[in-house]
Structure 1
Amino acid sequence: MLKKYIFLTKPGILFGNFVTTLGGFFLAAQGSVDILLLLLTLLGTTLVVASGCVVNNFIDQDIDDKMERTQNRALVKKTIEPQAALIFATILGISGLSLLWFFVNAYATGFAVLGFIVYVCLYSLWSKRTSIHQTVIGSISGACPPVIGYTAVAHEFDVAALLVFLAYAIWQMPHSWGIAIYRFDDYKRAGIPILPVARSIFRTKVESLIYVVLFAAVLNGLYCFGYTNVFFLITFNALCAYWLYLSIIGFKAENDQVWAKRYFLYSVILITALSISFSFSYQSPAPHLPIF
């Protein structure tokens, strides 16, 4: 039974957000890592994200029943009662926000609340079912964890935090569309108006290419504003160059699903490598360019 509750939290998503939170923290820490603060930030963020994922499972029961990859989830199979899932989500959410509020800071807590509200209300309850712009809306919640990590250390929202927020939001467009092309039939069967289904796979490839270029341009701002060093400049652009290459060869792919799976998996590798590289990429002393 415990295993079923763990899978309700979507461990893959938890890992992804764990890594991006780590990246934001490393960038702000400038090589001086407070281990206790890091652990509390990671734990608090993970619990809030887990809460949102459980609520998303509750909301998406009807959709999940139509999709091959989700039709065996516990709430679909009724092996966990919906009321029990909501209680579980509430405990996770309150625990995570309490940790961030009492042991981290108000900035981290605020962005955790923002991410939760966007993911549950604006994405899960509304745009996922009704709007082609669902990915853009959902990207806001996905961009919050690295900012939580950053502000946990910085105690302010500055230019670096803004660039990280924008870049991680932009990254999610080609990342999510890669999944959607790979699982095209699932999304179509469930009636989800994501870009490849609502428009076309070709248009999705065009927009994905544009967003990869935007992602590279925005995050290179960290170097331009003096927050990162040459190691970051070289490493990040090498990673982006290969993602750009995958975007281009996608137009000649003989099998869109095979290409999309490769494209999606590389996006995960890229964001993981990027987040870890921040532990070596800082520029000391960092500039002080606060926004609020």
Structure 2
Amino acid sequence: MDHVQSALQDVRSSEVLKNYFLVTKPRLVAANLISAAGAFFLAAQGHLSITNFLSVMTGLSCVVASGCIFNNYIDRNIDKDMTRTCGRALATGAISLKGSLVYATALGMAGTAILSAGTTPLTLAIALAGFVIYVGVYSLYLKRNSAYSTIIGSLAGAAPPLAAYCSARNTFDIGALLVLAIFSLWQIPHSYAITIFRYNDYAAAKIPVMSVRSGISATKRHIIWHTVAFILGAQMLTAFGYAGHAYLAVATGLGLCWLCMALHGYKTCDDRLWSRRLYLFSILTIFILSIMMSIDFAKPPAGMIAMGQL
């Protein structure tokens, strides 16, 4: 009997550890680190500081994970109404509310300390600004009150690559502005695609996303406009001398494929299937783009650097 109880206790302990890991949204953290690495290598131009790189990656992972836990805490009630999220640990009560808040706070403090010690004040400021936008502005208010919450939330999504870029460059130049634009513009059609193929979830939870508030047709138009803006923004890295022509060719090719898929939304008979494919292709697009930033960087002209230091 004692062996059975011990085994059951071990199982419960492993489940608790698993839930504390999953509440950080590890796939989202990993995605943010991939984009951050791409922006870091773009800015570093081959002059890599291992200490700086490890500090910014570790610090950002902690800050992003902390934000995800706070987001799960804030959304725990509406998560119960959505098929996609009803199994989350805080929605089911698998972990305690107090424990999750302590965990989130500890990760946030650890990330802040690492970024403060190993990077620059500008990097820390950008990371914390992204955290405040995601947790304080988006999660607490806009998500429940505005169809345009995705646009503001996209700034939080762009914060990790922007922070990593500024950590390597130690300035906010035109390249930093372009990184902010590229990752913000990418996130908008990416997120709008989610709101279409998860339409029933958002409607059930009464979340006023674009597809629920303004309709799927309006959401498709916004997807197209922002995809076009993303393509133009991605091309500007080469136009301003920060990335090479191989990057330009790949970025343009991926962007045009994404746009063609978006335009196909006007012909599709199955919005859910179309939007899911669009969402998956958007992930592939930003993954490949981050890789190309890492390997096909270029040094902008001296005059451009001077002009771009803000």
Report TM bin, short chain. over 0.9
- Structure 2: give runs of 5+ residues left out of the alignment: 1-15
2:118 equivalent to 1:96: no
2:63 equivalent to 1:48: yes
2:87 equivalent to 1:72: yes
Aligned partner of residue 254 in structure 1, secondary structure = coil
Matched with 1:83 is 98
Matched with 1:253 is 268
Larger radius of gyration: 2
User: What is the root-mean-square deviation in Å for CA atoms of aligned residues?
Assistant: 1.1
Kindly indicate whether the alpha-carbon contact (under 8 Å) linking 2:66 and 2:104 is maintained by their aligned counterparts in 1.
yes
Kindly indicate whether the alpha-carbon contact (under 8 Å) linking 1:55 and 1:86 is maintained by their aligned counterparts in 2.
yes
Cα deviation 1:60-115 (Å, max 9, x = unaligned): 01110100111111111111111110000000000001111111111110011100
Report which stretch shifted further, 89-98 or 25-34. Answer: 25-34
Cα deviation 1:37-76 (Å, max 9, x = unaligned): 2121111001000000000010001110100111111111
Kindly indicate whether the alpha-carbon contact (under 8 Å) linking 1:143 and 1:165 is maintained by their aligned counterparts in 2.
yes
Shift of 1:219: 2.1
Shift of 1:29: 1.0
Cα deviation 1:113-151 (Å, max 9, x = unaligned): 100000011100000001111101101100111111101
Determine the C-alpha separation between the residues in 1 that align with 2:190 and 2:23: 22
Cα deviation 1:212-262 (Å, max 9, x = unaligned): 000111221111111111111111101101101101111111111111110
Determine the C-alpha separation between the residues in 1 that align with 2:133 and 2:269: 37
Matched with 1:198 is 213
2:243 equivalent to 1:234: no
Aligned partner of residue 220 in structure 1, secondary structure = helix
Q: How does 1:262-273 map to 2 (within 5 A)?
A: 262-273=277-288
Aligned partner of residue 143 in structure 1, secondary structure = helix
TM-score (norm 1): 0.98
Matched with 1:155 is 170
Kindly indicate whether the alpha-carbon contact (under 8 Å) linking 1:67 and 1:186 is maintained by their aligned counterparts in 2.
yes
TM-score (norm 2): 0.92
Matched with 1:39 is 54
Kindly indicate whether the alpha-carbon contact (under 8 Å) linking 1:25 and 1:153 is maintained by their aligned counterparts in 2.
yes
Kindly indicate whether the alpha-carbon contact (under 8 Å) linking 1:31 and 1:279 is maintained by their aligned counterparts in 2.
no
Matched with 1:27 is 42
Shift of 1:285: 5.4
Matched with 1:131 is 146
Cα deviation 1:147-183 (Å, max 9, x = unaligned): 1110111000000100110121111110001111111
Matched with 2:182 is 167
- Code of the aligned partner of 2:111: G
Kindly indicate whether the alpha-carbon contact (under 8 Å) linking 1:156 and 1:290 is maintained by their aligned counterparts in 2.
no
2:308 equivalent to 1:290: yes
Determine the C-alpha separation between the residues in 2 that align with 1:290 and 1:105: 18
Matched with 1:185 is 200
Kindly indicate whether the alpha-carbon contact (under 8 Å) linking 2:51 and 2:118 is maintained by their aligned counterparts in 1.
no
Determine the C-alpha separation between the residues in 1 that align with 2:300 and 2:135: 38
Kindly indicate whether the alpha-carbon contact (under 8 Å) linking 2:66 and 2:105 is maintained by their aligned counterparts in 1.
yes
